[in-house]
Chains A and B, each alone.
Chain A
Amino acid sequence: MTKSELIDAIAARGQLTKARAELVVNCVFDAMTEALQRGEGIEIRGFGSFTVRPYKPYDGRNPRTGQPVPVPAKRLPFFKVGKELKELVNASRGRQLIDDDDDDDDDDDPST
């Protein structure tokens, strides 16, 4: 499921126009992003919680050249699955994983 499919589902189930549903979905993720930016955690009961973890600077290495590369201090988001969702996901084990595309890593950048 992509964000636009989530928007379609909210529009259908909530009886909204797609434009309205899009505003709702964007507002939810915007509010969450802003909380994390403030360094604030997010707790959604039954779903999970997001926290911001600080990382110290360290000396990394360019894997291709072996050259040392300083990695600056950074903050990264971390998600802990809630108990209910964890159990729900595990209970789906009998079903095949739905992986309708092969671009898993589209949001990935190996440098971070």
Chain B
Amino acid sequence: MTKADIVQAVYTRLGGFSKKESADLVDLVFETMKETLGRGEKIKISGFGNFVLRDKRQRQGRNPQTGEPIVITERRVLNFKASQLLKQALNDKPGTETPSEKPFADALIPKD
């Protein structure tokens, strides 16, 4: 999936936006997120995940190819922590029920 596919989803699912408007809005979403992270602010998208920033101190590393010791300079890095909901979405197999869901599902079926 690329940004073009996301634009297509906005265009076809929402209605009322031209293709150009859909593309501009999707760009705006990612641009806004980039700018936010670029000023050192984390982003929390409930149901999807958190984009968190961490400051790493300088440390000693090694060139994995040559084994040569090198200094890894201090840096700020971005990590993504997937939300529980996203993790669940990737592991729920459609058509199979997890045992813990069953009693609840049964309770929803009228007895008579």
**A-to-B contact residues, CB < 8 Å:** 1-3, 6, 9-10, 13-14, 16, 20, 23-25, 27-33, 35-37, 40-48, 50, 52, 74-79, 81, 84-86, 88-93, 95-99, 104, 106-109, 112
Contacts and interface: CB of A to CB of B under 8 A. Distances in A.
Interface of B: 1-3, 5-6, 9-10, 13-14, 16, 24-26, 28-30, 32-34, 36-53, 55, 74-84, 86-87, 89-91
A36 B82 CA distance: 12
A90 B76 contact: yes
A27 to B, nearest CB: 5
Contacts of A25: 29
Contact of A27 (B9, B50, B53, B81): B9
Contacts of A46: 30, 34
